[in-house]
Every structure is written in structure tokens, then in C-alpha cells.
């Protein structure tokens, strides 16, 4: 049982770290203009040698971008909260009870990641200025999609897990 708990804790921590990196790292969108340096764009900034805020990111025209930012931050917060709730429930639950509250919070984090990555996919053209349109998805975008099944599986593991001796 101790090995299973260690695996679940490591899996949850790996998902949280990847989710944190996907939210912060500057590589959701990558543009390589011919003869120029690579431009990386994330949810807040666009960077080549210097960083500048995404065009119109503070206006109502970028409501989708703001929704992606909010859901990714919420996913990180929910993932961290679910880990702390798991640790608390590990010492507080009676034998034989399930980690339902932890599972619900982790499944909500998974839902937030899916919503953010889906919104970014659907509205990526409205986020970027004309010079950034001809790009491709970056590593942070891929990490966001990888963390979706990881947090989903983690939440489902908490549903199945019972506290045993």
C-alpha cells in the first residue's frame, strides 16, 4: 500500500509541475520568420530578444485570451489544493473511506486545463498579431495537453483509492 501511495504522490507532483511549467513557460506559440530570430509567445508576452505584452491583451477583444489565462491559473491552484487536501485526508480519514473531495478538486483541475487548451486551440488566431499568425504550437501548449490526461487519471485514481492498513 505504501508503494501505491508513493506512486500516486509522485504522479500528482509530476502533473502539478508540468502544469505549472505549461502555464509559465514562454512557448505556447512559436514563429520562425525567414532570416530572423525565433519569436515565442505565451499567454501574456511575446518575446524574441525583448518581451512585450500581447497585442490588445488588456481589452475586451482578448476575452478568450483572458479566459485561457484564468483557467490555467485556476488549474494550477486546484491541482496544488487537491494535493494538500490529499495529504490532510491521508491522516484524517477513517479506514476504508475514499478520497472523494481530493478527487473532485483534481477532476476540476483537469477540466480547467482542457477548457484552457481547447479555447487556445479554437481562438489562437485572434490572440496574435498579423506577424505572429504563421507559427506553430510550442512546447507549453503540448505540455498543457499532456497534463490534461495526467490530472484526469490522477483524479480517477483518488476516486478508486481507499484508505487501508
Q: What is the CATH number of the domain that holds 30?
A: 1.20.140.150
Q: What is the CA angle 79-81-84, rounded to 5?
A: 115
In a domain, 113, yes or no: yes
Contact 23, 76 (CB under 8 A): yes
Task: Please check the confidence at residue 164 and state whether its pLDDT lies above 70.
Answer: no
Whole-number average pLDDT of the chain: 85
In a domain? residue 18: yes
Instruction: Determine the pLDDT at residue 112.
Output: 96
The total number of residues shown for the chain amounts to 165
129 versus 26: the higher-pLDDT residue is 26
Q: What is the pLDDT of residue 126?
A: 65
* CB neighbour burial string for 32-67, b if at least 16 within 10 angstroms, e if fewer: eeeeeeebbbbbeebeeeeeeebbebeeeebeebee
pLDDT at 48 over 70: yes
Average pLDDT (28-52) is 77
Confirm whether 45 is domain-assigned: yes
Cell of 4: 501505491
State the total domains in the chain: 1
pLDDT at residue number 13: 95
Q: How much is the pTM?
A: 0.87
Could you list the residue range(s) of the whole structural domain that residue 89 is in? 2-160
Band of residue 130 on the pLDDT scale cut at 50, 70, 90: low
- What CA–CA distance (Å, rounded) separates 112 from 43? 15
* Residue 165 in domain: no
Amino acid at each position: 500500500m505504501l508503494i501505491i501511495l508513493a506512486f500516486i504522490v509522485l504522479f500528482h507532483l509530476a502533473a502539478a509541475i508540468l502544469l505549472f511549467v505549461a502555464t509559465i513557460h514562454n512557448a505556447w506559440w512559436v514563429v520562425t520568420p525567414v532570416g530572423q530570430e525565433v519569436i515565442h509567445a505565451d499567454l501574456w508576452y511575446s518575446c524574441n530578444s525583448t518581451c512585450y505584452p500581447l497585442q490588445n491583451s488588456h481589452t475586451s477583444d482578448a476575452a478568450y485570451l483572458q479566459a485561457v489565462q484564468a483557467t490555467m491559473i485556476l488549474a494550477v491552484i486546484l491541482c496544488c489544493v487537491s494535493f494538500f487536501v490529499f495529504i490532510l485526508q491521508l491522516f484524517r480519514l477513517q479506514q476504508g473511506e475514499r478520497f472523494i473531495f481530493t478527487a473532485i478538486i483534481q477532476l476540476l483541475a483537469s477540466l480547467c486545463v482542457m477548457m484552457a487548451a481547447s479555447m487556445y486551440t479554437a481562438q489562437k488566431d485572434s490572440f496574435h498579431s498579423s506577424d505572429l499568425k504563421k507559427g506553430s504550437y510550442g512546447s507549453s501548449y503540448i505540455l498543457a495537453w499532456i497534463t490534461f490526461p495526467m490530472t484526469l487519471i490522477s483524479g480517477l485514481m483518488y476516486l478508486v483509492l481507499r484508505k487501508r492498513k
